[in-house]
A and B are shown apart, each in its own frame.
Chain A
Amino acid sequence: MSKLSMSSALEKRIRAFLQGPRKGETYELRSGLVSQYKHERKDAIQRVIQAMTIGKDVSSLFPDVLKNIATYDLEQKKLVYLYLMNYAKTHPELCILAVNTFVQDTEDPNPLIRALAIRTMGCIRVARMVDYIEIPLSRTLKDDNPYVRKTAAICVAKLFDLNPEICIELGFLDELKSLIKDSNPMVVANALNALYEIKDMNDDNNLQIFIINEEIIKNLLLCLNECTEWGRITILTTLNDYSTNDIEEANHIIERVIPQLQHANPSVVLSSIKVILHHLSIIQNNDIKQSILRKLSAPLVSLVSSSIPEAQYVGLKNIRILLEKYPQILSKELRVFFIKYSDPLYLKLEKLEIMIRLANDNNSALLLGELKEYAMEIEPVLVSKAINCIGSVAITLAGSVIKSINLLINLIDERGGDLIINESIIVLTNILRRYPGKNDLITLVIPVIANHINELNSNDSLSAYVYLLGEYPKYFSHLSDKLKILIDGFLEFDSSLQLLILTTIVKINLVLSDSQSQYSNYLQTVLELATKDCENADVRDKAYIYWRLLSSSSSSDTKHQIILSKLPPIKTTISSFNPVVLEALVSELSTLSSVYHKPSFTFIDPHAYTSLQSESSDGGKKRVKANKSNIEDLTKLAKAEIINNSKNENLLDFDDDDNGISDNGNGTGSASLLDELNDLFSAPPTSTSSIPSSADSNTITTNTNGGEGSINDILNLFNTSQPSVTQDFNNLNLSNSTSSSTTKSTKPSQDLLDLF
């Protein structure tokens, strides 16, 4: 018998020799993975992971890597687990081969391995895994080791995402809730986090995920000091969601949270501030309130002293919100916000925003001196912003007007340059609009402007000058010459400037008509130019209105009343939030909304989770197949497939040639493909907007997602006009809820067709 096998072994060797060595990296790796030597296997695994991390597709090695999962070598186990998490979706049916090892590992004496096993098991987003997770998960949730328990807690959220029904049925949600009362703070924080995730994922309105009560809050406050920064943030978020009417309790919460203000992590600090402000609202005693508010200034200052500019920026954005709600909170801290030469530009601009909001009579001299320095910098954006800030100071603080004006005049005289002159003149005009009719200011400002008329080249500064001309004609010398220049160039100006010139000349005629009749010539010319030669309808209409009014028989008093009515003085040039938005922003402090300065509902789709889920089921085609694919799924699949295909085609073409014509043809092709599809699935593009939302919303959502991707790709081919359309699209996404998602799906294809 052995002789027989000897000969067959020889035969195989010959066969292998004749075939020659099989080549390729994958082949090499595969033979390494099934090698008879331990070190070769480990080496091969390392190389596979290496290839995986640089983005090579090594999913074909899945079964061979999986064989190495059962090992006592922790390092190797971690690598295989990592591979498994990454590629589980490519081989969903093979994943169950790992189950036995997972279950065994959750019984391992080493808590690290127990935690690793349950974490990886949770990370495998394969439906069949759910059947086997019950035993290991319930075991690890009751583990003696807190690290294992907290890992299992997070795994419950993952299970919920995969299959909410089973998660609730097997009682994992209740077990998770009981972990909030765990003795270990780390477990408490992670359980809380998992519950929040579940709350976000949950689309069943009848399901109460968790209620925060007094008892839980007490426990959370005890844990707060022992947690990692992540844990603290989670707990602080919970404290912010909790409202109490009991002043004692609110006081207690604030007292407990105040020490967190010293934390090194800015997010913890901001979250603490948010909690304190939230619970401050029910405290009636004003003294206590003020003393607590005073405690907030030092931590806020600490946000700006971070060494990372990005973190500083986030801090500044949050401070701006707080300043609006509590303007006094940082009144003594102006110096902290001074610009450093090394700050990136975005930080400088944001600091300026804070500085002008901190301006008061005590610090105005210091602030103006500082602003003057910034106005002499090189960066144009910073210079114009600084000049604007000087104006803001003058407009907010009546006591600093003269000083600010002098500062601007100095800048114009000493520094000069187009940018400074143009910006300063806009700002000076704004200042005059804030304090109208003040003789001392007017005599100070007008001559400076008059000296620099020839250097005005921006539309805004010219507008400012023309406005002043109409408002205070008596202060300008050689008025007639100045008007002549404006009228000569009338047709070349921007329409907004034309409108202003028109008004100004009409005004001057009314004001000065008694003394000098030469202006009526100008009036005649300008009205004729505006009505006959001007293309802009607004300008023409306005001219006609003036003309009719002036030639009407109404008394000159009425004309004066209409034409010379005074504008209300401007109050501020500092932007502020709408009160509703402000409330929303304060309650969402230290989140993305505070950086965007937009409440979260404006940029987070409430159905984000649901659409994600439908997308994932879309990706796992095999799963869909296993789920006895119905027509809907098939439709979805087909759509996604075709959209993907058209996307690929486009990308390929983009690589091959830059020929506009061929791209063009291609683009229309895919757009019409989309249209055809829509026809197929009973959603004709022309009438979709009227289709009621009863159409299966899932289908539509996925379709839209896919569509958006491919549209963007197509648009990428045409560098022109992309932003506007994309923006359109984004706006749509923001404003539309699912009910109107039907419009979304066809909008891109229509837009596209418009493009061609």
Chain B
Amino acid sequence: MGQTFSFANIFSKLWGTTREIRILILGLDGAGKTTVLYRLQLGEVVTTKPTIGFNVETLKYKNLTLNIWDLGGQTSIRPYWRCYYSNTAAIIFVVDSTDKDRIDIACKELHTMLKEEELQDSALLVFANKQDQAGAMTAAEVSQALNLTDLKDRSWSIVASSAIKGEGLTEGLDWLMDVIKDEQL
């Protein structure tokens, strides 16, 4: 991370205020971003409505304070994602594994986003979500559809998950924490 070394940082470490690590959850509408967020934060499934705008929650995980932003995925809101890019440590990209029709759109959105300069240093975690449903693509299939192997100069990983059942989320987050800790040091 390009965190500059400043007095403010030293003091806040002395006073014990914790630095928050910004993580964005992005993806097409209906991929399950809000469900992932609240599954991580509350550990339960909440009923969600399409997010017009964003949700943000703070989460303590393995001694780190995570500031997780869940941005609305509707076509009309996607252009505003860029407002949130600065100072982002990691991106969680959620894909609806059952939505084969729109996987191309997801791929396009992902790669456009990753071209942004502000995100050059952010790690990428992809959740191949909705594995609980029949006909879901596997993580490998999703990875291929998203051309993840094309990504250079970036720490990335893909994890099969089911936000409803709570499967795969912690694994994914654990990997992310390791990467972030590495970069912070």
Contacts and interface: CB of A to CB of B under 8 A. Distances in A.
B87 A34 contact: yes
A38 B17 contact: yes
B144 interface: no
B84 interface: yes
Interface string A25-53: 00000000011111110000000000000
A357 to B, nearest CB: 63
B4 interface: yes
A96 B83 CA distance: 13
Contacts of A336: none
A33 B1 CA distance: 18
Interface majority SS (helix, strand, loop, mixed), chain A = helix
B105 interface: no
A13 B56 contact: no
A34 B54 contact: no
A100 B71 CA distance: 10
B61 interface: no
Given A12-B120, A16-B2, A40-B8, A34 B51 contact: no
A207 interface: no
B130 interface: no
Contacts of A94: 80, 83
A97 B56 CA distance: 12
Contact of B77 (A12, A38, A63, A96): A96
A100 B120 contact: no
A608 interface: no
Interface residues of A, number: 32
Interface stretch (A1-9, A302-310, A315-323, A566-574): A1-9
Interface string A101-128: 1011000000000000000000000000
A64 B83 CA distance: 7
B12 A37 contact: yes
B53 A98 contact: yes
Contacts of B155: 1-2, 4-5
A36 B87 contact: yes
**Best-buried of A6, A36, A94 by chain B (most CB within 10 Å):** A36
B183 interface: yes
Interface string A73-112: 0000000000000000000001011111101100000000
B86 interface: yes
B101 interface: no
B21 interface: yes
Contact of B80 (A16, A39, A97): A97
B121 A5 contact: yes
B104 interface: no
Contacts of A66: 83
A63 B83 contact: yes
Contacts of A142: none
Contacts of B84: 67
A34 B53 CA distance: 17
B54 A70 contact: yes
B111 interface: no
A437 B22 CA distance: 99
B66 to A, nearest CB: 11
Contact of B2 (A9, A35, A70): A9
A132 interface: yes
Nearest to A12: B2
Interface in B135-157: 153-155
Contact of B154 (A5, A12, A38): A5
A65 to B, nearest CB: 11
Contacts of B56: 67, 70
A740 B153 CA distance: 71
A70 B153 CA distance: 33
Contact of B72 (A2, A38, A100): A100
Nearest to B120: A8
Interface in B50-76: 51-56, 67, 72, 76
A96 B52 contact: yes
6 pairs of A and B residues whose beta carbons are closest in the complex = A100-B53, A99-B52, A63-B83, A12-B2, A2-B182, A97-B53
19 contacts: A1-B155, A1-B179, A2-B155, A5-B153, A5-B179, A6-B182, A8-B153, A12-B121, A16-B4, A36-B19, A36-B67, A37-B19, A38-B20, A63-B80, A64-B83, A67-B54, A96-B53, A96-B76, A132-B52
Interface of A: 1-2, 4-6, 8-9, 12-13, 16, 34-40, 63-64, 66-67, 70, 94, 96-101, 103-104, 132
Given A37-B20, A99-B52, 15 more contacts: A5-B121, A5-B154, A8-B120, A8-B121, A9-B183, A13-B4, A16-B4, A36-B21, A67-B56, A67-B83, A70-B54, A70-B56, A96-B53, A97-B54, A97-B80
